[in-house]
Amino acid sequence: MSNNLLQGKRGIIFGALNEQSIAWKVAEQAKTQGATFTLTNAPIAMRMGEIQKLADACNATVIPADATSVEDLENLITQSMEVLGGKIDFILHSIGMSPNVRKGRPYDGTNYDWYHKTMDVSAMSLHKVLQVAKKMDAINEWGSVVALTYIAAQRVFPDYNDMSDAKSLLESITRSFGYHYGEAKKVRVNTISQSPTVTTAGSGVKGFDGFINYAEDMSPLGNASALDCANYCVTMFSDLTKYVTMQNLFHDGGFSNTGVTQKVIEKFS
């Protein structure tokens, strides 16, 4: 159902890898709500070829960019404004990758080159997107940038590994850059802290099945789906949330404020 919440808005959506990706659902919902946008992902992800399917369905242009490369980001933003015919109103940062997680290195045996890569891809890339956009004055007033995060930034989930540190940095960049961009150009920056969700990045975390089921039982509303996350992103891109900025917004069925649930008590009784 469309309420045309994003009618006339132009965006850039990072991170749609396959149909499970949260960014994929955001693209579909943004399209339904009347937005036009470009799709982007790392050149290596393009080889899997699935993104073109989404682009065809959304009438969107795909522009490859490694989110750690300032040059790629400059090209992405320039081309996006050309293709879309003006400045940008919303950006989704839906990017995460840790070589330590991928290669099974434990947190207390980290490889520091990989740790650096985790920070660059999963957190500093948001700073780079914002800095490039601000320098180019590429985002309209009241524009909205949303990045996706996870509660491991606040609490320990042992196998989330160095991604926890990356998410803490991501949320800090959101506050700090949100201040500077808000003052200068009235651009909003927020993170959405999503429930565990079955995707390529999510399932890569050791013990994922265990903690997705645990989160389900620990959330009064149950885990939030990727589609519901996409709907929340759409509201954050819309003018209905104009004064929300520099926030970490939990979209987790109540998990973050729950000490214990009846379901969990029963399992231990």
Ligand X SMILES: NC(=O)c1ccc[n+]([C@@H]2O[C@H](COP(=O)([O-])OP(=O)(O)OC[C@H]3O[C@@H](n4cnc5c(N)ncnc54)[C@H](O)[C@@H]3O)[C@@H](O)[C@H]2O)c1
**Rounded least distance, CB 28 to ligand X, Å:** 13
Contact call for residue 196 and ligand X (CB under 6 A) = yes
What tokens does 219 get? 């959330």
What's the CA gap between 125 and 129, in Å, rounded? Answer: 6
Contact call for residue 164 and ligand X (CB under 6 A) = no
> Which region among 101-109, 181-189, 197-205, 254-262 touches ligand X (by CB under 6 A)?
197-205
Residues in contact with 1: Cβ distance below 8 Å, sequence separation at least 6, in sequence order: 32
Burial annotation 64-82 (CB, 10 A radius, 16+ → b, else e)? bbbbbbeebbbebbebbbe
Contact call for residue 97 and ligand X (CB under 6 A) = yes
114-143 residues near ligand X, rule: CB under 6 A: 121
Question: Which residues, in sequence order, are bridge partners of residue 146?
Answer: 92, 190
Question: Beta-strand (E) ranges in 150-256?
Answer: 188-194, 248-251
* Binding residue for ligand X, selected from 27, 84, 123, 201, defined by CB under 6 A: 201
> Which region among 53-61, 89-97, 231-239, 242-250 touches ligand X (by CB under 6 A)?
89-97
**Rounded least distance, CB 265 to ligand X, Å:** 25
What tokens does 188 get? 């909003």
Contact call for residue 253 and ligand X (CB under 6 A) = no
Contact call for residue 98 and ligand X (CB under 6 A) = no
- Side chain identity at 122, as an amino acid letter? S
Residue 220, Ramachandran bin (φ over 0: left; ψ between -120 and 50: alpha; else beta): alpha
Q: Which is nearer to ligand X, 16 or 138 (CB)?
A: 16
Q: Which positions from 7 to 46 touch ligand X by CB under 6 A, shown as an x/- string? A: -------xx-x---xxx-----------------xx--x-
**Rounded least distance, CB 17 to ligand X, Å:** 3
- Side chain identity at 217, as an amino acid letter? D
The burial class, CB within 10 Å (0-12 / 13-18 / 19+), for 9 is: buried
**Rounded least distance, CB 186 to ligand X, Å:** 25
In this structure, what are the phi and psi dihedrals at residue 199, rounded to the nearest 5 degrees? -145, 180
> Which region among 63-71, 134-142, 180-188, 214-222 touches ligand X (by CB under 6 A)?
63-71
* Binding residue for ligand X, selected from 161, 197, 219, 241, defined by CB under 6 A: 197
CB atoms within 10 A of CB 61: 16
**Rounded least distance, CB 208 to ligand X, Å:** 8
In this structure, what are the phi and psi dihedrals at residue 248, rounded to the nearest 5 degrees? -105, 115
Binding site for ligand X (CB under 6 A): 14-15, 17, 21-23, 41-42, 45, 66-68, 94-97, 121, 148-150, 194, 196-197, 199-202
